[in-house]
Amino acid sequence: MRPTQAPFPATRLRRARQSTAIRALTRQNTLSVDDLIWPVFVRAGEGIEEPIPSMPGVFRRSVDKVVEAAREAADLGIPAICLFPYTGLQERTEDCAGAWDPENHANRAIRAIKAAVPEIAVMTDVALDTYNINGHDGFVENGEIVNDRSVEALVKMTLAQAEAGADIIGPSDMMDGRIGAMRSALEDAGHQNVMILSYAAKYASAFYGPFRDAVGASGALTGDKKTYQMDPGNSDEALRLIERDLSEGADMVMVKPGMPYLDICRRVKDSFGAPTYAYQVSGEFAMIQAAAEHGWIDGERVMMESLMAFKRAGCDGILTYFAPAAARLLNARR
Ligand code: PBG
């Protein structure tokens, strides 16, 4: 029970805000480098760090440069890095075979990071969109994004990533039944320690725009993703999806996008108490960067405030393009 507060002036809530020391002592939530997962884009080639115009400060890196980035992240104390492949239109096919090719950029990057920076956890992206000619996360048959055949392909993709040494599989596809299928395939293949962080409550969001530029999907995507990603008007459905994915063997769950969906983060954490993550997506990042570049907001302070908001909403961690910048600030404060 909440104790009754004495009336003013016995209670003066400003007392707890009077100085840096008292504010530090009474602060309820804290942000730490341990809370950060850094999404990184991998491309073909060598020695390449190619800027992404709609995501100022973010690059597509060749495998050797991704390894350098992983080294930098580990040195900053960031516990995990999440790899997203960039593929040109010519590498995309209708059968999406590149997705489970052990030699695709993402799988090569996993192996290279595990060899050079073994202490950082490597998370992956499981979805067909970066290999699909039409930019969808599943196979398209007669205009329909088909579920069960897509899940079979996603399982192959998962196994290739686990073979390459991934620590955390990140299914972002929103097909039904994929978590159970992936979990049993991983168990059967002897990958019982490989974790699944399910993009369980993923909304059909316009905030993914800059990401689709980053992975080369903007030009490819035909139509929208509304038949598999969630309707932004829904809240209870997110809980059903999270419960379903946990029951199928997800170790951790994600809400995505982040800032516009903090209410969902809070409901998920309160309902299940499972390790809960939010993805502060490309559009959220781009808005903050763009306003900061114009001098309209203080970029650093908004970055830190936005990350703290996820902790306050109950998240255990955040996937954020700000991870290295935030880690540098947090380390400097110690
Ligand atoms: C696709 C995927 C998307 C993101 C992560 N994985 C985009 C989409 O669903 O179209 C978005 C990430 C971001 O916007 O930062 N499987």
Cis peptide bond N-terminal to 39, omega within 30: no
Asked if the model's pLDDT at residue 218 lies above 80, the reply is: no
Q: How far is the CA of 112 from the centre of ligand 1 (A)?
A: 24
In the block, tokens 């114009």 appear at 294
Q: Does the Cβ of 318 fall within 6 Å of ligand 1?
A: no
Asked if the model's pLDDT at residue 20 lies above 90, the reply is: yes
Please tell me which residue in 225, 256, 269, 311 is annotated as part of the active site.
256
Which range is least confidently modeled, 68-77, 115-124, 196-205, 206-215?
206-215
- For residue 14, is it within any domain? no
Calculate mean pLDDT across residues 98-106. Answer: 97
Report CA 16 to chain centroid distance, whole Å: 35
Residue 331 corresponds to which amino acid? N
Calculate mean pLDDT across residues 130-159. Answer: 96
Alpha-carbon radius of gyration of the chain: 20
Looking up residue 140, the CATH number of its domain turns out to be: 3.20.20.70
251: left (phi over 0), alpha (psi -120 to 50) or beta: alpha
Percent over 90 (pLDDT), the chain: 93
- For residue 211, is it within any domain? yes
- For residue 225, is it within any domain? yes
Q: Does the Cβ of 284 fall within 6 Å of ligand 1?
A: no
pLDDT of residue 1: 63
Q: Measure the CA–CA gap between 133 and 120, rounded to whole angstroms.
A: 32
- For residue 142, is it within any domain? yes
pLDDT of residue 65: 98
The parent domain of residue 81 ranges over: 31-332
Residue 286 corresponds to which amino acid? A
pLDDT of residue 98: 96
To test the pocket of ligand 1, the residue of 92, 169, 211 to mutate (highest count of ligand atoms within 8 Å of its CB) is: 211
How do residues 158-217 score in pLDDT, each as one tens digit? 999 999 999 999 999 999 999 999 999 999 999 999 999 999 999 999 999 999 888 877
- For residue 61, is it within any domain? yes
- For residue 3, is it within any domain? no
CA distances from 12 to 1, 138, 210, 297 (A): 21, 57, 46, 31
> Nearest 5°: CA angle at 173, between 229 and 244?
75
Does 136 or 1 have the greater pLDDT score? 136
DSSP letters, 120-149, are SEEE--B-STTTBTT--SS-EETTEE-SHH
**Strands 276-280 and 59-62: what pairing?**
unpaired
How do residues 221-250 score in pLDDT, each as one tens digit? 889 999 999 999 999 999 999 999 999 999
pTM of the model: 0.97
- For residue 24, is it within any domain? no
- For residue 59, is it within any domain? yes
Asked if the model's pLDDT at residue 261 lies above 70, the reply is: yes
Asked if the model's pLDDT at residue 3 lies above 80, the reply is: no
Percent over 70 (pLDDT), the chain: 100
- Is 114 a catalytic site residue? no
Please give the tally of structural domains in the chain: 1
Q: Does the Cβ of 113 fall within 6 Å of ligand 1?
A: no
Residue 15 corresponds to which amino acid? R
User: Mean pLDDT of all residues in the chain?
Assistant: 96
- Is 202 a catalytic site residue? yes
Asked if the model's pLDDT at residue 10 lies above 70, the reply is: yes
How do residues 278-330 score in pLDDT, each as one tens digit? 999 999 999 999 999 999 999 999 999 999 999 999 999 999 999 999 999 99
